[in-house]
Amino acid sequence: MEDKDLMEKELLIIKGVCDLYLHGTIESTSQDVHTTFKDALNESLNIQNKIYNLMAEKGWYKTENVEQTKIDTVKQKFASKQ
């Protein structure tokens, strides 16, 4: 398995972990549990960011710029629903 494939899998796993910690934070019933989940979420988000940055540096996580007209169209669509 290539490094790119491993990094993609790691990124998917850490995103799933972040999702679990987010829900744990939201649903916690005590301050201690809330703080524990929140701290774990923040640590996981930092790990996710490091993986993303490494992949982006290597050109393995490509993003594309969106035209301003498309952004404006979406803004108008949601503004009209408020």
Q: Does residue 82 register a pLDDT over 80?
A: no
Rounded Cα distance between 18 and 53, Å, is 17
- 80 pLDDT band, cuts 50/70/90, is confident
Look at the block and give the residue holding tokens 């979406």.
Answer: 74
Q: Does residue 81 register a pLDDT over 90?
A: no
Q: Does residue 1 register a pLDDT over 80?
A: no
What pLDDT does 9 receive? 96
Q: What is the pLDDT of residues 34-76, one digit of tens each?
A: 999 999 999 999 999 999 999 999 999 888 889 999 999 999 9
- Stated pTM of the model: 0.76
Task: For the chain, give every domain's residue range.
Answer: 3-79
Instruction: Give ∠ CA 9-21-10 in degrees, rounded to 5.
Output: 10
Rounded Cα distance between 34 and 57, Å, is 34
